[in-house]
């Protein structure tokens, strides 16, 4: 078959300039609405949990972030949530390995 069907890939990559422009546009819209907070200095020299908790407990920064953002940070970055997510991913990988091993036998 000389001219038979050939598999083709129709994926298209988004140009980097377009991605940068979209990000810049989204950030400028958020800035115009006052929904962005820029911190010049976190005050943390080493990545330590204790330092991060002190930063999140800082009253001045809490007022800048607002109560809603503080609750969001607490919800997203709790250790219990991170541990549960790591456990879930580990179990998925382990189950996939077990299935492949069972199929190979």
How many domains are contained in the chain? 1
Residue 20 within any structural domain of the chain: no
* Model confidence pLDDT, tens digit, residues 10-30: 888 999 999 999 999 988 888
Residue 18 within any structural domain of the chain: no
Residue 62 within any structural domain of the chain: yes
37-65 exposure pattern, b = at least 16 Cβ within 10 A, e = fewer: eeeeeeeeeeeeeeeeeeeeeeeebeeeb
Residue 87 within any structural domain of the chain: yes
- Domain containing 100 equals 49-105
Residue 68 within any structural domain of the chain: yes
* Model confidence pLDDT, tens digit, residues 42-73: 666 776 777 777 776 777 766 766 666 667 66
- pTM (whole model) above 0.75: no
Residue 67 within any structural domain of the chain: yes
- With contact defined as beta carbons under 8 Å apart, do 62 and 55 qualify? no
**Cβ count near 96 (within 10 Å):** 10
């Amino acid at each position: 078959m000389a001219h038979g069907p050939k598999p083709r890939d129709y994926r298209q990559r988004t140009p980097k300039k377009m991605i940068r422009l979209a990000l810049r546009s989204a950030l400028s819209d958020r800035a115009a609405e006052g929904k962005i907070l820029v911190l010049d200095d976190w005050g943390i020299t080493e990545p330590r949990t204790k330092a991060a908790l002190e930063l999140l407990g800082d009253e001045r920064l809490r007022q800048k972030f607002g109560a809603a953002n503080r609750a969001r940070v607490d919800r997203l970055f709790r250790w219990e949530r991170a541990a549960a997510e790591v456990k879930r991913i580990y179990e998925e990988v382990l189950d996939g390995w077990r299935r492949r091993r069972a199929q190979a036998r």
